Structure 1
Amino acid sequence: MENGSTLKKKYWRFRRNQEMNMSPEITIRGVRYMIMSKLNKSDTRPVIPLAHGDPSAFPCFRTAQIAEDAIIHSIRSAKFNGYGPNIGILPARRAVAEYLSQDLPNKLTEDDVFLTVGCTQAIQTILTVLANPKANILLPKPGFPYYEAVANSCHLEVRHFDLLPEKDWEVDLDAVEALADENTVAMVIINPGNPCGNIFTCEHLEKVAKTAKKLGILVISDEVYDHLAFGKNPFVPMGTFGSITPVVTLGSISKRWIVPGWRLGWLAINDPNNILKEHGIIDCITRHLSISCDPSTIIQGAIPDILGKTKEDFFLKIINIIKEAANICYEGLADVPGVICPSKPEGSMFVMVKLDLSVFEDIKDDVDFCLMLAKEESVIILPGITVGLKNWLRITFAIEHLALEDGIKRLKAFCERHSD
């Protein structure tokens, strides 16, 4: 037997995947955890979470009773304990089609709907399907960084177009045309807006569709915050313009029903001209879902009741809570030195604000600002660089109102303390 002095080093053949090089520091969760690690443990005040997208922790945001009952009934029925089809259970897909069709000129059928594990799997699916050699995709800046992460993982080149704060965060359509080439396959919009809190007008969405048609690309419309609109512009689904250019709508029950942990999303095809089918995209989506996981059958079994029986008063209650929170946030930020809010949020749960670093004596950038704020005031805010805009901040206002007021008060004290 060889002893320690003569034992040769074993050559192991496994290596880490060199493509998995995304640092956790560039993800929303990674940045949030990094900031939270800077909290002062001696501060006895409650931590104010203004960087999250999950209000379910707060009692005022509890989901609808019918949704809870639907889950219980689904379990007790014993009908949903087995494997489901890779594209989703038929009654659930039909229920999603009916739910989405309420706002569309061209009605969807169950064949237009694919169920996914939250909206994240819907993003993974459509980007993977489109990821051919040399292909590129156009993403908004600021936006949701998960798109970049997925695109990088499947070698899909990313190009960014700006959203314009001076125009209520409209898409810079001239930039879209300038960025696109013969290898561009799609553009992504997020409506209602994460992270900007904007709602695109019907007229602007039509311009987006016409631009996409001109370029020969499809529109991926992330509508995970659908109907969370409380300003001058009503929510209009991009699928309204599916007859102009193919639209793939991504959504879920996570935000409107305040149940992100239930992980039920969808990918819906708005394409009455059957362009995507003719080009093999629909078949490719089906094939991709056959080799990936599918959402819990228990949740799928509950979806017809969740989507079909939730009363309007539940939605109105949630909207009113979020609208009041948006007002508290916007009005409170007006008095905070060094923080500029270009427009009042009208949808989703977020607002983007710009930092005027010339006001501060000892803060070098948005990351530095958020780390110091967490340490000194136990307030967690997301630095804008995480969503594509350096020296901006993304603030979440979907928390209980008293906590939000306290958070803004602490933010103001912090800014006053560090200003000239």
Structure 2
Amino acid sequence: MSIPSLKTRERLSEVRYEIRGELARRARELEGQGRSLIKLNIGNPGAFGFRAPEHLQRAIADHIASTDPYTHQQGLPAAREAIAEFHRKRGTPNASPERVFVGNGVSELIDLSLRALLNPGDEVLLPSPDYPLWSAATILNDGRPVYYRCLPENGFLPDPDEIASLVSPRTRAIVLINPNNPTGATYPRELLERIVAIAAKHHLLLMSDEIYDEILYDDARFEPLAPIAGDLPCLSFGGLSKVHRACGWRVGWAVLSGDPLASGDFHHAMDLLGALRLCANVPGQFAIHQALHGEDTIRPLTAPGGRLYETRRALIEACEASENLQLVEPKGALYGFPAVVGDAAVGFDDHAFALEMLEHEDVLIVPGSSFNVPFRNHFRVTLLPEAPVLREVFARIERVLSRRADAASARETAVA
């Protein structure tokens, strides 16, 4: 007698996460066959030779004897105080340890916060492109993602008028990713002020994913949302994964700001959900104070001559030299989001292109449509490899795109 297959949750069919999806599984198969791949699909500093700063490693080592017990569900008191102090210096209103939640990375806190907020059918305004975890967490917590466009012709910045037009009676929150993943856009203060005004008018929660807050290039500025939001409920997310190159430590935080009376029920819901998972990873929390109040180790990497800066320069130069690529220069974060243009874009499918790059050029990239955009002519690469490696990657990309462009031109000539 055959055993019937286990049924899974139906809404999982709506969830996409190609960053670690089908292409990444195929990459593992190829590596198992002995192929050597350049994997640019994920912003994982440790996989490219980066290490968490030594003073953060020492902070954990010095306290390792204190890491065995569970801690408070919102995190170690000293860690929460360090986060609150950091936000007070930024001007975050009502930043206190009681309103800080430490989680197993920002990913867990995104899920917990949406679970605390949403009833079935509630809507969340998300950027398009977005980091796809935001869409997935909205769907899996029975919400509905509603996308506002961040178009390349506008520097991947949103149009506040469009955001306002998308608000409905079911809208509960506006999500911002600043600096943005996957585009590298940074949001000017005037734009944030207009988005805050929309949230104020409709009594919406502001949720600002600021995990890349200190990864900035050239004259780019980061404007934290909470000081602009003032008394409005605002949840600001940060962590050790990117700025401090400690992804595997799984240490993130969310700071609930604004009028405590307006967000009291939401605070209690977050606390309850945190308690149900007992607590976040304890050892990594001992590094939080040093990370936020110790030596600045990211600026040397993003300044001219720094490793991230020079890899970004290699990306910009490769796209400028290509007739087949167009790039909105990333101002922050760890990614580039080039567009395929011209003859190479005729009949272009980003997923098929990513598969061709993997199978024939040993390069793993992420199709742009994975980030919930309606167009299919973009792809994402990370800026974490050394600059010569990225130049080699784009030489291979150019080889494939040039073949596509030549074939499209030949077809057009034959038809003519």
Same structural fold, with TM-score higher than 0.5 when normalized by the shorter chain: yes
Whether the 8 Å CA contact 2:16–2:132 is kept in 1: the answer is no
Structure 2 gap segments, 5+ residues each: 407-416
1:353 to 319, 325, 338: 338
Query: Counterpart of 2:337 in 1: which secondary structure?
Result: strand
Superposed CA offset, 1:315-365 (max 9, x none):
222223222211110111122332221x2111001122222374267x640
> Match for residue 287 of structure 2?
302
Query: Counterpart of 1:194 in 2: which secondary structure?
Result: coil
1:259 to 246, 254, 261: 246
**1:119-268 correspondence to structure 2 within 5 Å:** 119-243=106-230, 245-268=232-255
Whether the 8 Å CA contact 2:138–2:145 is kept in 1: the answer is yes
1:151 CA drift (Å): 1.4
CA separation in 2, counterparts of 1:121 and 1:23?
19
Do the aligned partners of residues 354 and 11 (structure 1) sit closer, same or farther apart at CA in structure 2, a change above 3 Å counting? closer
Matched, 1:58 2:48: yes
1:122 CA drift (Å): 0.9
1:19 to 10, 20, 32: 10
CA separation in 2, counterparts of 1:22 and 1:293?
29
Whether the 8 Å CA contact 1:352–1:395 is kept in 2: the answer is yes
Do the aligned partners of residues 250 and 164 (structure 1) sit closer, same or farther apart at CA in structure 2, a change above 3 Å counting? same
CA separation in 2, counterparts of 1:402 and 1:138?
39
Query: Counterpart of 1:102 in 2: which secondary structure?
Result: helix
Whether the 8 Å CA contact 2:343–2:404 is kept in 1: the answer is no
Whether the 8 Å CA contact 2:232–2:259 is kept in 1: the answer is no
**1:241-390 correspondence to structure 2 within 5 Å:** 241-243=228-230, 245-272=232-259, 274-277=261-264, 280-309=265-294, 311-312=295-296, 314-320=297-303, 321-341=307-327, 343-356=328-341, 358-359=343-344, 364-389=348-373, 390=376
The answer to which of 266-275 and 396-405 deviates more is: 266-275
1:409 CA drift (Å): 1.6
> Match for residue 47 of structure 1?
37
Matched, 1:100 2:87: yes
Matched letter for residue 226 of structure 1: D
Query: Counterpart of 1:266 in 2: which secondary structure?
Result: strand
1:30 to 1, 15, 21: 21
1:10 CA drift (Å): 9.0
Superposed CA offset, 1:215-259 (max 9, x none):
221110001111111133311111121315321111111000001
Superposed CA offset, 1:28-68 (max 9, x none):
21144145258598896x52222211122223x32211011
Do the aligned partners of residues 200 and 136 (structure 1) sit closer, same or farther apart at CA in structure 2, a change above 3 Å counting? same
The answer to which of 105-114 and 17-26 deviates more is: 17-26
Superposed CA offset, 1:263-314 (max 9, x none):
001111121464212xx111111111111252221112332233332x12x2
Superposed CA offset, 1:355-389 (max 9, x none):
2374267x640011111111221111110110023
CA separation in 2, counterparts of 1:298 and 1:205?
35
CA separation in 2, counterparts of 1:322 and 1:382?
19
1:143 CA drift (Å): 0.4
Superposed CA offset, 1:94-145 (max 9, x none):
1111123322253611012011110001100111011113311111100011
Identity in percent: 25
Whether the 8 Å CA contact 2:361–2:396 is kept in 1: the answer is yes
CA separation in 2, counterparts of 1:376 and 1:199?
35
Matched letter for residue 21 of structure 1: L
Matched letter for residue 323 of structure 2: P
Do the aligned partners of residues 204 and 173 (structure 1) sit closer, same or farther apart at CA in structure 2, a change above 3 Å counting? same
Query: Counterpart of 1:290 in 2: which secondary structure?
Result: helix
> Match for residue 405 of structure 1?
391
Matched letter for residue 298 of structure 2: F
Superposed CA offset, 1:47-92 (max 9, x none):
2222211122223x322110111111121xx222111111111111
CA separation in 2, counterparts of 1:244 and 1:110?
17
Do the aligned partners of residues 73 and 38 (structure 1) sit closer, same or farther apart at CA in structure 2, a change above 3 Å counting? closer
TM-score between the two structures when normalised by the length of structure 1 = 0.89
> Match for residue 69 of structure 1?
58
Query: Counterpart of 1:211 in 2: which secondary structure?
Result: helix
Query: Counterpart of 2:299 in 1: which secondary structure?
Result: helix
CA separation in 2, counterparts of 1:82 and 1:42?
43
CA separation in 1, counterparts of 2:395 and 2:172?
46
> Match for residue 3 of structure 1?
none
CA separation in 2, counterparts of 1:35 and 1:23?
21
CA separation in 2, counterparts of 1:58 and 1:137?
34
Whether the 8 Å CA contact 1:40–1:378 is kept in 2: the answer is no
CA separation in 1, counterparts of 2:383 and 2:2?
55
Whether the 8 Å CA contact 2:31–2:37 is kept in 1: the answer is no
Matched, 1:418 2:404: yes
